[in-house]
Amino acid sequence: MKTYSVAVIPGDGIGPEVIRESLKVLKTVEEIHGGIRFTYDTFDWNCAYYLKHGRMMPENGLEILKDYDVILFGAVGDPSVPDHISVWELILPIRREFQQYVNLRPIKLLRGLESHLRYKNHEDLDFIVVRENTEGEYSSMGGRMHSNTPHEMAVQNNVITRFGSERILHYAYQLAEQRSKQRLTVATKSNAINHTMTFWDEIVKEVGADYPHIDTELYHIDALAAYFILKPETFDVVVGGNLFGDILTDLGAAMVGGLGLAPSGNINPEKNYPSMFEAIHGSAPDIAGKGIANPIAQIWSVSLMMDHLGHPDLGKLILDGIEEVVAEGEVRTPDLGGNAGTESMGNAIVSKIKELAKKTVQ
């Protein structure tokens, strides 16, 4: 019996609502496999915690988390706490401290769903974005200057290191090697940002030399955003820095049905620290408490978690379960044009996973 310890941080708003459904799926996977077990500890680190304690997590929060195998994260954010506090004081320290330098974000249109891109179908929309998750524009270097003068300004440095760039590029190339098109698309902006981005381009060339069989294409971020819309079928693995990767993946999510369907993994490939799995979406205060949030993004994140833990068969089983329910079209949350609630959607996926597991065993 293999046991995995899971730290669960449900967060705010719809976070706890979608986490609940993803835990049902983990329980189902445990029953099906028989040889794995999950143990859970749940942490109430969210905006309510902040309002009570003046911080998003205890001082030793990272120390507490560091020995878990994985972290399952819902979403944080509440109108009563500024967003830069909830994000900067909880998610970003976890990503950085645990060297979760890969942010893995699949862009895949499930069977049975229509893309907002009129002429594209599920065969055209199936790629994966690898976002650098620890440096770049999200660095803490910089600050405010000359306050109370007409020259008041703010500077935030874009930090590109050789170490950080090499490791993310190696990861992206190795992922490209496992996929069908054998192609890596790289986001840059070296025509205008002439220190950091030209350095990045140089490292792309050097690392790329180790993977001569992979076709590398380098695009400026503005053109690349346009190509996401115009020719998504040409992409297989797309790699970009922290900010470019963030923006591209919300665009990608919109192309495949919206935030309710977009999963992510914050991965430490060396596994010397826990990795964290979370839906891309936030706490959605506009629909929180109504029981109508789509739990797919969070359940799909659990599928990525199974891949990471070395059980790609179970990861695929979960994703197949999600896709089959969506394709059948009977149970859909309002964001997908239906009237099912979060819980019915979760239950439908659980039943489907059980059904598919029986078929493969027989």
Residue ranges that bind Mn ion, judged by CB under 5 A: 246
Residue whose CB is less far from ligand NAD, 83 or 343? 83
In the bound state with Mn ion, the residue whose beta carbon lies nearer, of 133 and 275, is 133
In whole angstroms, the minimum distance from the beta carbon of 252 to ligand NAD comes to: 14
DSSP reduced 3-state for 95: helix
CB of 280 to Mn ion, least distance (A): 6
320, interface contact from Mn ion, ligand NAD, none, CB < 5-8 Å by kind: none
Cα dihedral angle (355, 105, 165, 203), rounded to 10 degrees?
100
Smallest distance from ligand NAD to CB 2, Å:
29
* Comparison of 91 and 331: residue with beta carbon closer to ligand NAD: 91
Our separate counts of H helices and E strands in the chain read: 12, 12
Instruction: Give contact residues for ligand NAD (rule: CB under 6 A).
Output: 14, 18, 75-77, 83, 87, 91, 259-260, 278, 281-287, 293-294, 297, 335
Q: Provide long-range contacts, Cβ within 8 A and 24+ apart, for 316-322.
A: 317/29, 317/32, 317/353, 317/356, 317/357, 317/360, 318/25, 318/29, 318/349, 318/353, 320/353, 320/356, 321/25, 321/349, 321/350, 321/352, 321/353, 321/356, 322/110, 322/296, 322/349, 322/352
- Minimal distance in Å, beta carbon 271 to ligand NAD? 22
The site partner of 237 among Mn ion, ligand NAD, none (C-beta below 5 to 8 Å per kind) is: none
Residue closest to 273 by CA, chosen among 130, 7, 69, 63: 69
User: Nearest distance from residue 195's CB to ligand NAD, in Å?
Assistant: 30
CB of 103 to ligand NAD, least distance (A): 11
**For ligand NAD, the closer CB: 77 or 240:** 77
Task: State the residue number with the nearest CB to Mn ion.
Answer: 246
297-327 burial, b at 16+ Cβ within 10 Å, e below that, comes to bbbbbbbbbbbbbebeebbebbbbbbbbbbe
d(CA 280, CA 300): 11
- Choice between 160 and 345, CB closer to ligand NAD: 345
Of the pair 208, 258, the CB lying nearest ligand NAD is at 258
Structure tokens at 348: 């439908």
Least Å from the CB of residue 288 to ligand NAD = 8
Among ligand NAD, Mn ion, none, what binds residue 284 when CB lies within 5 to 8 Å by partner kind? Answer: ligand NAD
**CA 357, chain centre distance (Å):** 26
Q: Which does 259 bind (CB under 5 to 8 A by kind): Mn ion, ligand NAD, none?
A: ligand NAD
Q: List the single partner that 77 binds among Mn ion, ligand NAD, none, CB under 5 to 8 Å by kind.
A: ligand NAD
Helix/strand/coil percentages in the chain, nearest 5: 45, 20, 35
Between 265 and 341, CB nearer to Mn ion: 265
- How far apart CA 91 and CA 75 sit, in angstroms, is 9
**Distance in Å, CB of 262 to ligand NAD, minimum:** 9
Q: Which does 276 bind (CB under 5 to 8 A by kind): ligand NAD, Mn ion, none?
A: none
* Structure token digits, residue 81: 């706490």
For ligand NAD, give the closer residue by CB, 282 or 315: 282
246 binds, among ligand NAD, Mn ion, none (CB under 5 to 8 A by kind): Mn ion
Q: Please report how many Cα atoms fall inside a 13 Å half-sphere around the Cα of residue 293, on the Cβ side.
A: 30
